[in-house]
Structure 1
Amino acid sequence: MALAMCLAPVPGPAPSAAEIDAAGEIAASARIDASGASPAVVALGAALFSDPRLSPDGRFSCASCHRPDAAFAEPGVARQRGRDGKLLATNAPSLLGLARRGPFRHDGAAPTLAAQIAVPLLAANEMANPSLAAVAARLAADRATVSDFEAAFGGGPTEARVVAALGAYLRSLTPEPSPFDRFQAGDPAALSPAARRGLTLFRGRAGCSACHLVDGDFRDGRFHDTGIAARRMRRPFPDGVRPSQGRIAVTGAAVDRFRVRTPGLRAVARTPPYMHDGSIRTLADVVRYYAAGGAAHAGLSPLIIPFAVDEGDVADLVAFLEALGETPTVPVSAAPAE
């Protein structure tokens, strides 16, 4: 289901290089635009994203956990349920801007976007398809879908074309201009006084911009030990799901234990709860967590330094974070803590 969720090793065979190499299919499209894919390919990807035929039993689509009407996340849900009804280990993040910079997944286990797309389609604890060929065969059984593929690629559904279409659509998911963008473009009234104070704190005393660079995505493309993964090991999930130990699962390097990928902050106010395990309910609580210095342990990132805040500072930082997207569609109070 979720395109960037599970941190733990995924049961089942990994996709082969042939299954995930879609570059040739994208390049073969007849009408290429500036993003590298034709409008027909992007439109086909959009349709596939919400198509429950991507799952063997027709119950799940990508949009089941990444709702297009909710910043392509699932607000209010700490961890999503897989096809087997069991909760997964991590929170489904927003997909806005995600495709522009890899590697993917919270632990960086998917080096390319094509590889990441294949993971939820094949993982036994997500959609559980036996192969990408099985997905293509289901789609090929419908004449209208075949016609859509032919219009986009010049041929019917194949494994690579399914991945290519989804990838083209994901690359098209860019955030709408926010109040912060209008402020950066020269409109001083676009940010409230509170949000402007929050920006000063974000860049200064709070130290947020050390990892969340004040650029297009508000992330640095790196992996950090924020203390959350270590804290989760001390507080196991009540359902017995094995929590992530971070990037060590990919690299095997002890230094990567508990390190997770810095998330982007675009539209962040619309996607509670927060952190890779969905364990913090509100943005205000995220600010308080970092102000307190995170969860102290030996591997905690040296970038996480306690800083003094009062409730006014917390409100100002939240006002700035809210200005990185439009008005939240889900009250943060609806997001459960775990």
Structure 2
Amino acid sequence: MTTNGKHSTEFTELVDSLRSAPFAADTTTVPELRANFERFAASFYDPPPTEFVADRAGNVPVEWTYTQGCDRSRVVMYLHGGGYSIGSIPAYRDMCARISHGTGAAVLSVDYRLAPEHRFPAAVDDSVAAYRWLLSKGFAPAQIAFAGDSAGGGLTVSTLVALRDAGAELPAAAVCISPLTDLAHTGASVHEKAHADPIVTPEGSHAYGVRYLGEDGNLADPLASPLYADLHSLPPILIQVGTSECLLDDSLRLARKLRDAGSLVDLDVWPEMIHIFSFFASRIPESRRALDYVTSFIAEHLGPRPTA
């Protein structure tokens, strides 16, 4: 992680750019938010040579990501971010390609249903269905890891909890990048870091929560906000977060609860990094190093590639 307090010119320019055009998630319409994010994500698209193949996990659209020479018998199931309302498979192709390249495994990107058209628990239902589909295709749990960022990071934990409670065998490991784990926003960092976070605002994050759960929904529902879930018997989890994030406490408290429940947790905290900073790996050196840590963790827990 970065420890010397100095950041690259590319990172400084990115933060300045984000501050000049903030994400007004509480006042912008959902169609506009989606279009804005797709344009934003396209500016970070520069993947290694990759094959993208559309598929369906039952009723759930998915996409396979295969970088050159990857082992297609091992798979990372990726759940994108976007507050359960925005984000898409195309927007995350660069990140999924880099994860495939770094892990040497295939990546399955899941196009779970979005709110407000499809409210909680639609996203959880779809991610659970995608995992069960992988099992039905012959992948062993030990050959699968989960990963997700922001809302997708929270959904990663919620999916593990739902599968465990249903008696399913769990994947080998999971990664949560800047996870949204508390839609009730009770962490102190939500307001303490608001001046430092150029992506997430308290008002915007609350608006996403209401879109997902509805005006009368329970923002502390354990499957919507997994910070409130029983977290026993989960696989090893990497939590990666920056100290300039409104959602910093979502990560710190999740790590503490997981450890208290007996789970193996790697809490990877990066000074002054911003929300989903690994997403910007096509342009930002710090992001590439952070994503390298993610892929190393996944590769370690998926085990060695089979020999010919």
When normalised by structure 1's length, the TM-score is 0.28
Higher RCO structure, 1 or 2 (CA under 8 Å, sep 6+): 1
When normalised by structure 2's length, the TM-score is 0.30
